[in-house]
Amino acid sequence: MVMQKFRAAAASNRSTLCIGLDPDLARLPEHLTRDAAGIVQFNQAIIEATSDLVCAYKPNIAFYEALGSAGWQALKQTIASIPGHLPIILDAKRGDIGSTAKAYASAAFDELGVDAITLSPYMGYDSLQPFLERADKTCFILCRTSNPGGDDVQNLALANGEPLFLKIAELVAERWNGNQNCGLVVGATYPSEIATIHQRYPELPLLVPGVGSQGGDIGAVLAAAGEQAIINLSRSVLYASSTSSFAEAARDVAQRFLAPKQALNHP
């Protein structure tokens, strides 16, 4: 199962960091071309500089789709550049009717060959079923996201007084996780809510964006969820420098974020 791959990578690199490969053409280092070839060169340098510091990589499909067929090829080249022992999470946030979802699942798992994907639960179980049925893959389902607008829906109070995001967590843990291949996406900007989710459903791995540029605190996340938190870093690592030494700068930033985790494990 993919979670075994996550755990093996985390143990080998003593890290639960995940780097989001979200290449913004406008922010690429000055010496790189602002095109798909530049993205591949940028991603490959980031991967080479950080592959011993992470437990996974997470390319966001939008940055590649925006470039058309060249972007799709850049995504495939990026995936091929990631060492085989490291899991790849496709950040796609899919969620649609069954036949469409089946095609999305095939694109992610068969065409691209990724290990995991992010999904939106808004349309319910049947929109997720083609992904969940793939017992050899992991599905991270949006629960409590790090963006401020998430409150508009995720924090709506149910009849029992609890927020909607806790119902999503319950559905994932108790009804949708028959293949033991589910996790949740929970933003680092809400550490108390991470703690609540983790206390109720400690078996679920948590993909945690929002550390770094969005203001989430890695120490608070580790205190709330410990080893179950896969902590995603994107912009703070990718754009640590706009010079030709950008990859070295990215490594330095990743190492600084890694230090609190290692301190927690080795007092």
The single-letter code of the amino acid at 6 is F
Q: Which of the residues 5, 93, 137, 261 is marked catalytic?
A: 93
Active site residue 93: yes
Strand 138-144 and strand 17-21: pairing? unpaired
- Residue 104 φ/ψ, nearest 5 degrees: -60, -45
- What is the spatial distance between Cα 51 and Cα 247, in angstroms, rounded to a whole number? 11
Sheet holding 56-59, edge to edge: 56-59, 17-21, 229-233, 206-208, 182-186, 138-144, 116-119, 89-94
Sign of CA dihedral 13, 17, 18, 21: negative
Backbone dihedral angles phi then psi of residue 92, each to the nearest 5 degrees: -125, -20
Tokens coding 172: 């994932």
**Alpha-carbon span 186 to 146, nearest angstrom:** 7
* Active site members: 93
